[in-house]
């Protein structure tokens, strides 16, 4: 057993992978992992090593199914550290070093039956949902299928009572927002079963409507001064500051959604035409003008801040190892940290999109043009911005009826 010390903290590694620990540490230090991330990876390596030894499993014969067993056992008594995503860097390194078979580092693919496979194709081809949205819907559909359909003898025997019971059971251990999402997926799944002839009755009505308090749907942006404060708070003398500055500009000046910023690729920028291709909702690709301010900021980031060792085409890279593209959540984190620097109450990335919409309303831009810039699919969505022009709304308000004799007319 060996002990690896990192800035005063140690991890004991013993068992089947003890001989690989030093090389593992050196490689992950070279990749630029922070102390906390490196410690977590070493702990995962240590747990896997001890488990292999206890199970008398040769590392060179490890299978993907055995990895799943290891994770399932550890999750019962440990934290969320034990997930396939967290363990991924460990498995990939061990596989590249030839310590474990390459197949052991691959997530096992569970084959869906024809019913669920058809539902996935329906989500992609008919509803044109993004890959991440399809994946989320399929995860919920598989949970319903495994927990409620198969034990009952198949989807043909599914009843309205079983559908309702599934939603009620979800509410026992999950938050209302999760139960609501489960209900949306279940409703879509059951409608697909009916229209495709898999079931003889439409059971979607049996899904309970989960209601939770909703905030005002009035688009609320931030002031111009607040946007300036967010931008000036970025230290453009650092790589992170240059990246954050561009991200904030894309949100505030072009009205991109957080996921659209994360998806932006080098090939999406047409420098000759001054356009940027936006990969939007519903797999819709649309082009927007690339303003001089935004284009110049992107050039500065690409020349001076974007890591040269990235193996992907997405424009924005995470600042910490492992090297990967930004996610939607990371874009939201950039906005929140910018709020902290500017001394503002935290808000989400979508507030900057609303800000652009409000600015166009103030500048008397027609609603149809606002909808084109913000790439709304429904006019009703754009119509919401008409309500933020309080001055114009006052002109529409009717005067209160005159009174006579102390009574209302």
- 257 labelled catalytic: yes
Tens-binned pLDDT, residue by residue, of the chain (409 aa): 788 877 667 788 888 898 998 999 898 888 878 788 888 899 999 999 999 988 899 999 999 889 988 888 877 665 567 788 888 999 999 999 999 999 998 877 667 888 999 999 999 988 888 787 888 899 899 888 887 775 566 787 788 888 888 888 888 877 788 888 899 999 999 999 999 988 888 998 888 777 666 555 556 778 899 999 999 999 999 999 999 999 999 999 999 999 999 999 999 999 999 999 998 876 788 899 999 999 999 999 999 999 887 889 999 998 777 778 999 889 999 999 999 999 999 999 999 998 888 888 888 888 888 888 888 878 777 777 766 655 555 555 566 666 655 554 4
Q: Edge-to-edge, what's the strand order for the sheet holding 269-270? A: 269-270, 275-279, 285-289
Helix (H, G, I), strand (E, B) or coil at 301: helix
pLDDT value for 392: 54
Instruction: Considering the candidates 257, 263, 306, 351, report the single residue annotated as catalytic.
Output: 257
- 281 labelled catalytic: yes
pTM, two decimals, is 0.65
- 385 labelled catalytic: yes
Instruction: Considering the candidates 43, 74, 180, 353, report the single residue annotated as catalytic.
Output: 353
Do 2-105 and 224-390 agree at the fold level?
Answer: no
Domain 2-105 CATH class label: mainly alpha
- 3 labelled catalytic: no
- 350 labelled catalytic: yes
- 354 labelled catalytic: no
Instruction: Considering the candidates 31, 279, 324, 350, report the single residue annotated as catalytic.
Output: 350
CA 251 – CA 261 distance, rounded (Å): 8
pLDDT value for 342: 95
CB 277 within 8 A of CB 328: no
Give 275's strand partners: 270, 289
CA 2 – CA 25 distance, rounded (Å): 12
> Which among 91, 353, 79 has a CA at the least distance from the CA of 222?
353
φ/ψ (deg, to 5) at 287: -110, 140
Tokens, residue 37? 């991330």
Residue ranges of domains in the chain: 2-105, 114-206, 224-390
pLDDT value for 80: 60
CA 108 – CA 84 distance, rounded (Å): 11
Tokens, residue 93? 């390194």
pLDDT value for 231: 96
> Which residue pairs, CB below 8 angstroms and at least 24 apart, start in 185-194?
185/136, 185/137, 185/140, 185/141, 185/144, 186/140, 186/141, 186/144, 188/123, 188/137, 189/119, 189/141, 189/144, 190/163, 192/118, 192/119, 192/122, 193/115, 193/119, 193/155
φ/ψ (deg, to 5) at 198: -70, -35
pLDDT value for 409: 46
Instruction: Considering the candidates 127, 281, 337, 341, report the single residue annotated as catalytic.
Output: 281
CB 287 within 8 A of CB 269: no
Specify the CATH architecture of the domain 224-390: Orthogonal Bundle (1.10)
Q: What CATH number belongs to 114-206?
A: 1.10.150.130
């Amino acid at each position: 057993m060996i002990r690896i010390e990192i800035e005063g903290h140690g991890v004991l590694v013993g068992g089947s992978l003890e001989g690989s620990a030093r090389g593992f540490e050196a490689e992950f230090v070279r990749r630029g992992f922070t102390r906390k991330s490196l410690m977590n990876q070493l702990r995962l390596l240590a747990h896997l090593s001890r488990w292999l030894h206890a199970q008398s499993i040769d590392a060179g014969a490890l299978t993907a199914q055995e990895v799943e067993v290891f994770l399932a056992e550890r999750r019962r008594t440990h934290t969320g550290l034990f997930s396939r995503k967290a363990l991924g860097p460990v498995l990939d390194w061990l596989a590249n070093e030839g310590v474990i078979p390459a197949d052991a580092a691959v997530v096992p693919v569970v084959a869906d039956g024809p019913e669920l496979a058809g539902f996935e194709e329906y989500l992609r081809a008919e509803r044109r949902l993004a890959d991440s949205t399809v994946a989320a819907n399929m995860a919920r559909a598989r949970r319903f299928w495994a927990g409620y359909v198969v034990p009952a003898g198949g989807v043909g025997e599914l009843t309205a009572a079983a559908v309702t019971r599934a939603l009620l059971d979800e509410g026992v251990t999950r938050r209302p927002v999760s139960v609501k999402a489960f209900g949306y997926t279940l409703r879509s799944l059951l409608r697909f079963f009916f229209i495709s002839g898999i079931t003889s009755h439409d059971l979607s009505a049996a899904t309970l409507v989960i209601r939770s308090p909703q905030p005002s749907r009035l688009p609320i942006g931030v002031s111009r001064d607040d946007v300036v404060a967010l931008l000036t708070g970025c230290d453009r003398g650092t790589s992170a500051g240059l990246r954050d500055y561009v991200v904030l500009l894309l949100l505030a000046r072009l009205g991109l959604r957080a996921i659209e910023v994360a998806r932006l690729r080098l090939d999406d920028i047409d420098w000759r035409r001054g356009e940027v291709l936006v990969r939007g909702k519903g797999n819709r690709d649309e082009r927007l003008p690339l303003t001089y301010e935004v284009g110049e900021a992107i050039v500065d980031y690409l020349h001076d801040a974007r890591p040269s060792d990235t193996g992907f085409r997405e424009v924005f890279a995470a600042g910490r190892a492992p090297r990967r593209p930004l996610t939607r959540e990371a874009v939201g984190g950039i906005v929140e940290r910018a709020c902290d620097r500017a001394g503002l109450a935290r808000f989400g990335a979508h507030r900057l999109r609303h800000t652009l919409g409000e600015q166009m309303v103030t500048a008397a831009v027609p609603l149809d043009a606002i909808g084109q810039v913000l790439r709304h699919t429904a006019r009703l969505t754009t119509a919401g911005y008409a309500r933020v022009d309080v001055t114009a709304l006052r002109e529409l308000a009717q005067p209160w009826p005159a009174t006579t004799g102390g009574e209302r007319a």
